[in-house]
Each structure stands twice: as C-alpha cells, then as structure tokens.
C-alpha cells in the first residue's frame, strides 16, 4: 500500500491530496495521502518519527530547503537548485528529489511553448530557481527581477547555458517571450498595474492560490496567453506519483483528469 502526505506550513489550501488520491484511483492502486502541517523546525523530528509504512512525502514551502539537510540522499538536480519537493524512501533511507523543474518543462510543452528565447522570472526563491533550471538553454537570455541580492549566487548555479542578468524589483519588466511569476501570493500584484495595454509572449503563473492571481487575470484581460499554476501542480505531481507508485503513467491522459479533479475541489 502507498502511504504519503504533503508537508508544509500553511498547508490547508493544498490540492496535493486530491491530485494523488485521484491518480491512485485511476491507476487502480490503493493508497493513503494526506496534508500535514509541519514547520521548518519540526521537519527533522517529524521525519524521524515515521515508520516503515511510509512510501513518500511531498514538500511545499517552507520545507524545500530545510529537507536538504535532513535527507539521507540528495538528488544532483535538487542539490544544484538548493530545493527538493519530494522525499522517497530508499534502501539507504530518505532520498530528496525535485519534480518542480520537470513540472515547469512539461507544463510548457503541454501548451506548445518550446521556442522561446527570452525569459523573465519574477522572484529568486526556490520556485524561481526551479523555473530558471527548467528554462536554461544555450540560445536563451534570462532576466531575474527580484528583491534579494544575496540570492543571486544560488540562482547562478541553476543556470548553466543561458545568458543571465538581474534587475531590481520595481523596475519596468523587460520585453520577453516568456514571463514567469515565481513570487509568493500578492507580491507580483504591483506589476499587474504596470502591464502595457498590449502584452506579448506567454505568462506563466506558478501559483494556484489565490485563483486566479491578479497578474494572471490582468494578463488575460489584455488579450495575452496565460498558463496557470494548477497545470504546474499537476505536472510536478505526476512525477511524484510515478516515484511513489513505481508506475509509469500516460501523462497526456492523466493530466486533464487530475486538473479537473483539482478544479472541482476548488469550487465553493
């Protein structure tokens, strides 16, 4: 039997239980998956107290960096972006991985977005680092718009091939083929008011709470194409499901089913 949970603080808004339970049902598997409130200073004790019946864990903020110091093994990609959103039990203990990077890649591919050259990312935290690693490429130019200069060195480790530059928060947004919001809820609202009357390219909102965000609503109202954070949740979640179940899934078939289940759970 699969036994898992999503950990974080706050965690009550998480749709991961809906996603995982729906996936198990569609795969014909029996599994338990719940949301558990765990703060950063509680994570070590919580994981140490888990017995052998636990299969895996999903991690959201603020645990994605904390877990790297606790896991018995850390995947190379998770180490490079200094963030892990998944723990899987292995013969050597708990293995930390990230499915966020591939989640960004698969979401963009699902919407046919694969020929962009210029990328602007709002934010410089764990989500931004995953987005930067996902969008890295020799023919690309990436601009990070952020408020935390001390995070620049960590972001540079995430980008191997693309040309990378940093812009201070509050500056006008550079023109780009792809704009990604990787900031916490409400932080990018000020930029929604500064959007031009004619937007270009694709906007990718990493959040699904609130729904929709002010930035995404404004972008679409101006006639732009926007991708929402629910698709990101679904695609990173599919990778987690495969890791926890050991099953290979048909992404194109399962993704719409999981999205519909999450949308239904969001309705009042």
HEC secondary structure over 130-163: HHHHHHCCCCCEEEEEECCHHHHHHHHHHCCCCE
User: Do residues 59 and 146 both lie within one domain?
Assistant: no
pLDDT digits (tens, 9 = 90+) for 134-167: 999 999 999 999 999 999 999 999 999 999 999 9
> Does 64 qualify as catalytic in the annotation?
yes
The number of domains in the chain is: 2
* Closest to 93 in 3D by CA, of 72, 76, 70: 72
Give the chain's mean pLDDT. Answer: 96
What is the mean pLDDT of the segment spanning 60-84?
97
User: Do residues 21 and 94 both lie within one domain?
Assistant: yes
What span, in angstroms and rounded, lies between the C-alpha atoms of 80 and 135? 14
Structural domain containing residue 195 = 102-227
Res 155: pLDDT: 97
What span, in angstroms and rounded, lies between the C-alpha atoms of 123 and 68? 21
What whole-number percentage of the chain has pLDDT above 70?
100
What span, in angstroms and rounded, lies between the C-alpha atoms of 115 and 38? 40
* Closest to 154 in 3D by CA, of 113, 125, 112, 192: 125
Backbone conformation region of residue 255, classed left if phi is above 0, alpha if psi is from -120 to 50, else beta:
alpha
What span, in angstroms and rounded, lies between the C-alpha atoms of 7 and 72? 18
User: Do residues 235 and 203 both lie within one domain?
Assistant: no
User: Do residues 205 and 242 both lie within one domain?
Assistant: no
pLDDT tier at 248, thresholds 50, 70, 90: very high
pTM: 0.97
pLDDT tier at 267, thresholds 50, 70, 90: confident
């Amino acid at each position: 039997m699969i036994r898992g949970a999503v950990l974080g603080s706050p965690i009550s808004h998480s749709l991961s239980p809906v996603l995982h339970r729906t996936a198990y049902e569609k795969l014909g598997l029996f599994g338990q998956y719940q949301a558990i409130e765990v703060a950063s200073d509680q994570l070590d004790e919580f994981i140490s107290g888990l017995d052998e019946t636990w299969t895996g864990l999903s991690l959201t903020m603020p645990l994605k960096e904390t877990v790297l110091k606790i896991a018995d093994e850390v995947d190379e990609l998770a180490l490079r972006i200094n963030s892990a959103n998944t723990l899987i039990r292995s013969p050597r203990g708990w293995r930390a991985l990230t499915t966020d990077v591939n989640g960004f890649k698969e979401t963009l591919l699902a919407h046919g977005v694969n020929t962009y050259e210029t990328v602007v990312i709002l934010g410089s935290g764990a989500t931004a680092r995953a987005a930067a690693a996902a969008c890295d490429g020799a023919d690309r130019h990436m601009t990070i718009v952020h408020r935390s200069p001390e995070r620049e060195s960590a972001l540079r480790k995430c980008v191997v091939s693309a040309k990378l530059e940093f812009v201070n928060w509050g500056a006008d947004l550079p023109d780009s083929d792809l704009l990604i919001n990787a900031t916490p809820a409400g932080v990018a609202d000020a930029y929604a008011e500064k959007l031009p009357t004619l937007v270009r390219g694709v906007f990718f909102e990493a959040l699904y709470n609130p729904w929709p965000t002010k930035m995404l609503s404004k972008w679409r109202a101006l006639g732009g194409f926007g991708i929402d954070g629910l698709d990101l949740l679904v695609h990173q979640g599919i990778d987690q499901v495969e890791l926890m179940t050991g099953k290979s899934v048909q992404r194109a078939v399962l993704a719409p089913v999981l999205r519909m289940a999450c949308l239904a759970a969001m309705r009042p």
